[in-house]
Amino acid sequence: MNRVTLSAYAKLNLTLDILRKRPDGYHDVQMVMQSVSLHDDVTVALTDGAEIACRCGDIPGDESNLAVKAARAFFDAAGVAPCGLDIEIVKRIPAQAGMAGGSTDGAAVLRALRALLAPELTDAELLRIGADVGSDVPYCVRGGTALAEGRGERLTFLPQAPCLYTVLCKPDFAISTPMLFSRVRLDALSNRPDTAGMLAALQAGDAVGVLARVRNVFEDVLPESCGEVFAIKSRLLALGAEAAAMTGSGPTVFGLFRDEAAARAAYEALSAEYRQTDLAQFV
Mean pLDDT, the chain, rounded, equals 95
11, 69, 170, 233: which is the annotated catalytic residue? 11
Residue-number span of the structural domain to which 82 is assigned: 3-157
- CA–CA distance, 77 with 69 (Å, rounded to integer): 12
Verify that 102 and 138 share a domain, yes or no: yes
pTM of the model: 0.95
Cβ-contact 8, 108 below 8 angstroms:
yes
Q: How confident is the model at residue 114 (pLDDT cuts 50, 70, 90)?
A: very high
Verify that 124 and 182 share a domain, yes or no: no
- Quick: pLDDT tens for 120-160: 999 999 999 999 999 899 999 999 999 999 988 899 999 99
Last residue of a domain, one of 134, 157, 180: 157
Q: Is the pLDDT of residue 23 over 90?
A: no
- CA–CA distance, 250 with 232 (Å, rounded to integer): 12
Verify that 267 and 170 share a domain, yes or no: yes
- CA–CA distance, 72 with 255 (Å, rounded to integer): 37
Q: Is the pLDDT of residue 1 over 80?
A: no
Verify that 143 and 203 share a domain, yes or no: no
Verify that 151 and 203 share a domain, yes or no: no
Cβ-contact 213, 203 below 8 angstroms:
no
Last residue of a domain, one of 102, 134, 157: 157
Verify that 88 and 132 share a domain, yes or no: yes
pLDDT of 24 reads: 85
- CA–CA distance, 163 with 131 (Å, rounded to integer): 28
- Quick: pLDDT tens for 38-94: 999 999 999 998 899 999 988 888 889 999 999 999 999 988 889 999 999 999 999
40, 105, 136, 278: which is the annotated catalytic residue? 136
- CA–CA distance, 233 with 221 (Å, rounded to integer): 16
- CA–CA distance, 189 with 175 (Å, rounded to integer): 19
Last residue of a domain, one of 157, 192, 221: 157
Cβ-contact 17, 29 below 8 angstroms:
yes
Q: Is the pLDDT of residue 25 over 90?
A: no
Question: Domain containing 78 — which CATH number?
Answer: 3.30.230.10
- Catalytic annotation present for 91: no
pLDDT of 26 reads: 83
Verify that 239 and 180 share a domain, yes or no: yes
Verify that 150 and 193 share a domain, yes or no: no
Verify that 28 and 138 share a domain, yes or no: yes
Half-sphere exposure of 38 (CA within 13 A, CB side): 24
Verify that 152 and 173 share a domain, yes or no: no
- CA–CA distance, 29 with 63 (Å, rounded to integer): 27
Verify that 114 and 30 share a domain, yes or no: yes
Question: Domain containing 275 — which CATH number?
Answer: 3.30.70.890
- Quick: pLDDT tens for 190-214: 889 999 999 999 999 999 999 999 9
The order of strands in the sheet holding 165-169 is 243-246, 253-257, 165-169, 277-281
- Catalytic annotation present for 69: no
Q: How many CB atoms lie within 10 A of CB 44?
A: 28
